[in-house]
Amino acid sequence: MVYGVSAIRLSCVPSVYRFSQSSFNGARRSSSFSLLLKKDQFSRKIFAQKSSYDSDSSSLTVTASEKVLAPGGQGDGSSSLTGQLESPSTISDDPQVTHDVDGNEMEDDEKVEVEEQESVPSALANNDEEACNEEPSVPLHMKVSTEKSEAKPRSIPPPGAGQKIYEIDPTLLGFREHLDYRYAQYKRMREAIDKYEGGLEVFSRGYEKLGFTRSETGITYREWAPGAKSAALIGDFNNWNPNADIMSQNEFGVWEIFLPNNADGSPPIPHGSRVKIHMETPSGIKDSIPAWIKFSVQAPGEIPYSGIYYDPQEEEKYVFKHPQPKRPKSLRIYESHVGMSSTEPIINTYANFRDDVLPRIKRLGYNAVQIMAIQEHSYYASFGYHVTNFFAPSSRFGTPDDLKSLIDRAHELGLLVLMDIVHSHASNNVLDGLNMFDGTDGHYFHLGSRGHHWMWDSRLFNYESWEVLRFLLSNARWWLEEYKFDGFRFDGVTSMMYTHHGLEVAFTGNYNEYFGFATDVDAVVYLMLVNDMIHGLYPEAVTIGEDVSGMPTFCLPVQDGGVGFDYRLQMAIADKWIEILKKRDEDWKMGNIIHTLTNRRWLEKCVAYAESHDQALVGDKTLAFWLMDKDMYDFMALDRPSTPRIDRGIALHKMIRLITMGLGGEGYLNFMGNEFGHPEWIDFPRGEQHLPNGSVIPGNNCSYDKCRRRFDLGDADYLRYRGMQEFDQAMQHLEAKYGFMTSEHQYISRKNEGDRMIVFERGNLVFVFNFHWINSYFDYRVGCLKPGKYKIVLDSDDPLFGGFNRLDHNAEYFSTEGWYDDRPRSFLVYAPSRTAVVYALVEDEPEAVGKPEPVQKIETVEEEAEAVEELEPRKESEPLEG
């Protein structure tokens, strides 16, 4: 998470679009314009023009009432949304009966029957019998032709008892009143959704009714804006005339209009043309981007974005070609940002990321790519966390179809694609975001101070609101359904779960901190609902929650009483490494490192990381910069002498990452470029920002120089960065081969403060870390569980990884019987200083039995050279750098 700055942002970002009409910058009644993608950046062009019919054509001169009452039923004045997608024969005459609405992919036997209700509180309620005359409407998203396997029934299981959490963690019994109340609220919401909406499966398809939906006869547009006094749809298609297409409102605050096709059968709103909703609100007249818009762009010379009606011809739509990969047992995540993924100081594109970065991720050994900043955000420097248009992929990087092509290519490579989704808050922009959308403060958000995040300068959702739940649940499903994302990393979950948002609060692990009046139960219930929906409809999907508080039950199934995430992002580890790196080597405590890496809840999986994008931002430092600082500028070339600081930094950089992966969790994450110790920091292009209090935040002259990733440094065989990249690649492939992160066997046999040694087992691997800055140990005994022969499978001292080549990789290590460090067996190793070595059990090999021998401590370079020569006579030892 990054923090924004208040007020409207003056973007320094050059748009990827060129508009052919200069009138786009001012007059909103321009007769036509073309929206063109920059040359050679994208695979297709978007043309946004007015209909071939003039403004006085019949299709554009139909009065508002005629459009609402248009033949064909789509604009008959009905406020009904439920039933919109059904044929007349399936709609009851009783306006109080709701029906399940299934998309084209669903079989008839998958439909949910809903009993007749007394009342329907939903904004999508069927409350007009004239809706029975409507023709079936096909939602825009269903028009996308995709190659798919035989349809399988998808359903969301009913709520369970919610009691298993007490068996898993008996400590929770002391907080049963709170937890049972939380689960009761969740069940109450599930029952209400079943009663009034036909179930969570139907409820989470709000994009089929709200926003723009296309049918054979025209386009229907609906918007929930209860605070608006009047509304009209405006855009290039009607020369931005607020009197041309007046919308009608139903009793639940949903505004609606139907636009019939043009006389030639073409759609009334051309693909690629700009649209907005014009509203008279309690705060005055405003033109807003539709809340459910699927694409938006920023025109040159304009600050706010404009909504784009995105509906390309069938032959232009991207068709998915590759199946989604199965969820891997262990996650190795490459965190990335499309815009800054180029080696050049530019905004990169979906297409370039697809062609250049995805193969790199695959080669490095990662099995998942987590992409940030997908949801549209008008302020580039927010890192994508100040979302303005929740259903629209960022237009800076290309078109929606370009994004689909990227995801399909990742699936072809066997990579999961996880989206960094933001449901914890929203941009406070009024002109192009959700803030004050209908002119009221509490539309999508809490009223007053509770609806504002004082540190992030953003708006906070009201998770108790029915329509907010529809919006967010549908948003999560939209990205899974339309774009084939394989899951999410939910941002800012700690902020959601507590009314204090985790700010200025030190979580100590006391359960009173989690279950009390500071807990936002409505937000937790939403998280339970969204996890329920995702895992019910997409069983292979992955959900990761960014929680720093350590909330118990966070990663336990909803049916058992948990919040339902698959993984918790283990944020404390990165903070611990920064804390340690500020100390002298002599002050590092092995026990403290071990405690932080292993301090996680039983049966709750975690994604560990040594550093993420947070540490790479301007104002902070990456691990590499903490370790090597300014020496990185002058001493990373192999044809120049190294320095003690560089030698120390490269050695510890490798050790920190390996021990984090080895002990920190069941998944691992790395931010792009950090695998090779990317120099410097991330600084988005920005100009000066003038705050309301009169203060000025200086900019960087809108420079992109530090908003890119220098992958060429990691690839250069003449730079020391290459060694760190090679080590990270070997580390990922080691986990892929042995699966040690998810092994049930984990045992820490040694954490010696005097020797600075850490030894642990995971699966059939034995990890040996020597954090001592000078001492190397010959014949150092390490405990093990299984008997047999062990061999080196990863050595951070390998010259390929920038090491000093002090170990013989052909050596074999045989276990001996006898208890050592509480292990039934042990073997002898050579442990060079500042080195991490992984030993693997060689199966089906005879074991050698011997007696334990005392450890020989080596304190000088001369003693080490003699010991190495004795152990490895074929190699010459190299002196250690201090």
Token representation of residue 578: 């920064």
Tell me if residue 581 falls in helix, strand or coil.
Answer: helix
Amino acid letter for position 685: P
Tell me the Ramachandran region of residue 551: left when phi exceeds 0, alpha when psi lies from -120 to 50, beta otherwise. beta
3-state secondary structure string across 140-164: HHHHCCCCCCCCCCCCCCCCCCCCH
DSSP E strands, 16-72? 17-19, 35-37, 69-70
Which residues are catalytically annotated? Answer: 491, 546
Separation between Cα atoms, residue 316 and residue 306, nearest integer Å: 22
> HSE (CB half, 13 Å, CA atoms) of 694?
0
Separation between Cα atoms, residue 822 and residue 784, nearest integer Å: 9
3-state secondary structure string across 534-555: HHHHCCCCEEEECCCCCCCCCC
How far out from the chain centre does Cα 716 lie?
A: 30
DSSP E strands, 485-531? 487-490
End-to-end CA distance of the chain: 37
Question: Measured between alpha carbons, how far is residue 219 from residues 51, 195, 270, 311, 752 in Å?
Answer: 14, 29, 11, 11, 70
Question: Measured between alpha carbons, how far is residue 510 from residues 174, 193, 514, 516 in Å?
Answer: 12, 35, 8, 11
User: Minimal CA–CA distance to 498: which of 548, 555, 448?
Assistant: 548
Helical spans, DSSP H, in 198-327 = 200-203
Token representation of residue 3: 């923090």
Q: Taking the CA atoms of the chain, what radius of gyration do you get in angstroms?
A: 30
Tell me if residue 794 falls in helix, strand or coil.
Answer: strand
Token representation of residue 505: 């609060």
Token representation of residue 110: 């998958």
Token representation of residue 318: 């991207």
User: Minimal CA–CA distance to 369: which of 399, 403, 346, 398?
Assistant: 403
**How many Cβ atoms from other residues are within 10 Å of residue 599's Cβ?**
15
